[in-house]
């Protein structure tokens, strides 16, 4: 077993299973998808640490893969079925999208940074699992070109309401992410039922804010 494969097993056993992630499909996906592939070569040794990992080029604004424990818990909460269509918002280099592709029928991903979008396309083209379409788009826009989705995953946190993204959910669809609109920040799930969107808190969580989902300071006279 390679050192990365060993680290991946330790990540799943030590960080993910121990935080109440029991869905075997999620665990199998995290055991299979090589997280180090989605990390710049000079940071691959950090790929399996229990931390949010910056994957942006030096000198660029930081962009993160959210930590493995939170990744597993959000995927489990989303309850992705093999027939589902999934949208990953702010995919960065594509790790969360690659995991979703192991679970869903189809995956679309958006990324506001053209350089990261290009890298995600390249990495996901060589990944095992279902095909993933990647587009450049602001996080708040979602992907209206692909219609509505069964699941929307935020690869980071939002400090604002996400009504526009919730509008892209199918009936019965779920949006899962971290919301930093309160203290402490919380992972939440939004579900569309009978044309209305309801929400509930899942657990306290912290994640880097996605570009485009920051809170805009109010102008004060």
CATH number at residue 122: 3.40.50.150
**Is 130 among the domain residues?**
yes
In sequence order, which ranges of 83-220 are alpha helices (DSSP H)?
Answer: 95-103, 114-125, 163-166
Model-level pTM? 0.95
With contact defined as beta carbons under 8 Å apart, do 202 and 77 qualify?
yes
Spatial distance between the Cα atoms of 75 and 96, rounded to a whole number of angstroms? 9
**Is 12 among the domain residues?**
yes
- Residue 103 has what pLDDT? 97
**Is 218 among the domain residues?**
no
- Residue 193 has what pLDDT? 95
**Is 14 among the domain residues?**
yes
- Residue 1 has what pLDDT? 62
> Containing domain of residue 139, as a range?
3-204
Tokens describing residue 182: 């309160």
3-state DSSP call for residue 86?
A: strand
User: Beta partners for 197?
Assistant: 192
- Residue 61 has what pLDDT? 87
Number of other CB atoms surrounding residue 211 within 10 Å = 17
**Is 216 among the domain residues?**
no
**Is 75 among the domain residues?**
yes
Mark the ranges of the chain whose per-residue pLDDT is less than 50: none
Pairing assessment for the beta strands 186-193 and 196-204 based on DSSP bridges: antiparallel
- Residue 59 has what pLDDT? 79
**Is 169 among the domain residues?**
yes
**Is 107 among the domain residues?**
yes
Cis upstream peptide for 137 (omega within 30°)? no
- Residue 147 has what pLDDT? 81
Into how many domains does the chain fold? 1
Over residues 167-209, the pLDDT tens digits come to: 999 999 999 999 998 889 999 999 999 989 999 999 999 999 9
- Residue 129 has what pLDDT? 67
């Amino acid at each position: 077993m390679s050192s990365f494969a060993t680290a991946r097993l330790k990540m799943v056993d030590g960080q993910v299973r121990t935080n109440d992630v029991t869905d075997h499909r999620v665990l199998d996906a995290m055991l299979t998808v090589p997280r180090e592939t989605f990390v710049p070569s000079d940071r691959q040794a950090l790929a399996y640490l229990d931390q949010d990992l910056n994957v942006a080029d030096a000198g660029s604004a930081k962009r993160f893969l959210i930590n493995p424990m939170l990744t597993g818990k959000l995927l489990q909460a989303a309850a992705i079925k093999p027939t589902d269509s999934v949208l990953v918002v702010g995919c960065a280099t594509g790790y969360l999208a690659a995991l979703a592709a192991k679970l869903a029928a189809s995956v679309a991903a958006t990324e506001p940074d053209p350089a990261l979008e290009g890298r995600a396309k390249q990495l996901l083209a060589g990944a095992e699992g279902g095909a993933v379409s990647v587009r450049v788009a602001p996080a708040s826009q979602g992907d209206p070109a692909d219609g509505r989705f069964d699941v929307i995953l935020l690869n980071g946190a939002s400090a604002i309401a996400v009504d526009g993204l919730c509008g892209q959910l199918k009936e019965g669809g779920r949006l899962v992410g971290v919301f930093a609109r309160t203290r402490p920040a919380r992972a939440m799930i939004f579900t569309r039922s009978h044309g209305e969107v309801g929400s509930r808190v899942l657990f306290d969580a912290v994640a880097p804010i996605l570009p485009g989902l920051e809170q805009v300071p109010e102008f004060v006279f």
